[in-house]
Structure 1
């Protein structure tokens, strides 16, 4: 199994937690880097301290050097929108383990300033040069950091809102924006329970207490949740989140109109695909009455397994991969313009090199074909294309080693921050933050 080498000692996840923490603590204070043993030579990692615990993390820009079936493997950034923002909007410091995010939206509001259009619209994406994360880009980043864009067969039936929330909060740990911990500004609703409703409400109020401060400048927070309904209210509209029945997020009629226009495709997919979920990310404030009002908003449609998709052909691709029990990483767009190509997914069960899967919807322009050809030509990994106006070609077969009982598909992944294999573990009692 893939363990970690600490100088002359290899430690795996069968080791006691205290023993592993001792090795991590020594590595954190030493000069020698631990190695992930997914390759014969090992891949350097680094150790960060999060709260009172030490975690082992992938070194920046080394995701492609890990074995494709390793939890630390990351497809080449240029195959998704990550390549545009990595190193500028997302800056990782391996000395202290802190990742600094540059956001293109504000977490404060002065006076009666009118909220900008929902993040992610075409004009916004053109304006953003990769130096800052849009609201949609922030959601995609946290989704990827949480491992929610990764899939392997043993995950079937294990993902719930409890799991999604748990790993989103873990993904936010160690992230800062303008010197402030992102976790303080992030609200993700707890799984609702009638028996625990009072406690859930009290924790929500406590977490949002800073929003109630009076003054010329009001603080805002980021909310991530699943949409239950978008409905009319007495003076506008509201988003009711699942697991949050008694705390709607209000939005103005103007913002609602812009939502309907900008995210028409996402709303149509959610409406037509029964087992899909519609997730939202917003900045919001809380007024003197305790009511939440949305300032900026973006939405993302995800499959029954919480994997994002952009159109029906994307969804068919995900369904085919899931039915065939394949291991893959879904590409996310971040700030990337809608007309820019990206890999739908990368097959991680094909060795020694994974395969990038591309889906071309019917009716695309020649310039789109040229852009895809350029992307494929500049990539070092093999490609597979489905032009959705034609029958789907046979997918590349999984390598024998990646599907055998001795492969990492059948092992527990060593403890590491945001390891997606942990999603398959049994859920325990939930805590708020």
Structure 2
């Protein structure tokens, strides 16, 4: 997997290492601030706005994107939970699509490359790979061995630190969110007998902040709902989520924010196009960004934008400024105009 060193925009668009200009997505606001690469030792420092530990008897501080994902501050000094998920997804290149990828992505592949993306990253004084739990693909014949590896990992990740206890971090695909006797539980695919409990407060905030993601997952056939969460395990061995963020991806595991983005991604993929999906990180929904950057054989990349219905003058002025600064040709779909415009040849 190519290493992202910040030189991607200087590569030829036909090169697999090409990256669109960071300013076309939320990466531009956090790169170099919340994401700091050390060229000498190759270690990347990630500055997080949420805690990876908890004092006994206290609720972990509420992260920004558990307050209002749509109004996440554009200050790039710290990564929200959602931004960290976007960063790892982009590092693992699951925001990229080429025709050769068709049929080659499943949970085992995602897990492998997400864990590789976590290597060489530190946060809160810890190696990210030492606290990041991504479940193995379920296999009934290997169930006991998988459970043993899980328990060994969690016993190392969730050690006490004086009066505080470490939290681990989960990335997994949500199977269901269901009422429990007290509160709710999140069932993660490939972990059928290891539920994660949600207290009423965390469940209420999740439903309020991530209502669009939950609605898209419910309404979009073949979509997947990805959760990133911090969690601890109590004396009874029960896992409880402290904070959570959600992201919806297509059947090709490409993130999308609304049905218009899903339609564009699907249309491009069916035409055999190669493209990079922009991710929002901390950027609020009111801030325009490229939906995708299309890589065209023998031609310059093309920025593709979707303008939401009801976008005002300020939004359009920011979009014009973004397009001008990118130095890249643009394709624009104004939702208010109706059907998707003709795609590039």
Q: Indicate whether the TM-score tops 0.5.
A: yes
> What are the equivalent positions in structure 2 for 1:320-399 lying under 5 Å apart?
320-389=267-336, 390-397=338-345
Q: Is the 8 A contact 1:350 1:396 kept in 2?
A: no
1:226 maps to 173
> What are the equivalent positions in structure 2 for 1:162-181 lying under 5 Å apart?
162-181=108-127
Cα shift at 1:123: 7.1
Cα shift at 1:322: 0.9
Cα deviation 1:192-211 (Å, max 9, x = unaligned): 00000001100000000031
Unaligned stretches of 5+ in structure 2?
Answer: none
Cα shift at 1:254: 1.3
Runs of at least 4 residues of structure 1 off by over 6 A?
none
> What are the equivalent positions in structure 2 for 1:11-90 lying under 5 Å apart?
57-58=3-4, 60-90=5-35
1:138 maps to 84
Alignment of 1:252 with 2:221, yes or no, is no
Q: Is the 8 A contact 1:119 1:297 kept in 2?
A: no
TM-score, normalised to structure 2, is 0.95
Would the alpha carbon gap of residues 340 and 253 (structure 1) be closer, same or farther in structure 2, given more than 3 Å must change?
same
1:242 counterpart (183, 189, 198):
189
Alignment of 1:114 with 2:59, yes or no, is yes
Q: Is the 8 A contact 1:102 1:177 kept in 2?
A: yes
TM-score, normalised to structure 1, is 0.76
Aligned-partner Cα distance in 2 for 1:323–1:176: 38
Aligned-partner Cα distance in 2 for 1:267–1:110: 31
2:247 maps to 300
1:283 maps to 230
Bigger radius of gyration among the two: 1
Aligned-partner Cα distance in 2 for 1:128–1:369: 18
Q: Secondary structure at the match of 1:208?
A: helix
Cα deviation 1:114-148 (Å, max 9, x = unaligned): 24446524379544610110000000000000000
Query: RMSD of the TM alignment (CA)?
Result: 1.7
Q: Secondary structure at the match of 1:168?
A: helix
Alignment of 1:310 with 2:273, yes or no, is no
Would the alpha carbon gap of residues 119 and 156 (structure 1) be closer, same or farther in structure 2, given more than 3 Å must change?
farther
Would the alpha carbon gap of residues 381 and 128 (structure 1) be closer, same or farther in structure 2, given more than 3 Å must change?
closer
| Matched pairs, number | 342
Cα shift at 1:302: 0.3
Aligned-partner Cα distance in 1 for 2:109–2:213: 23
Q: Secondary structure at the match of 2:3?
A: strand
Aligned-partner Cα distance in 2 for 1:256–1:57: 37
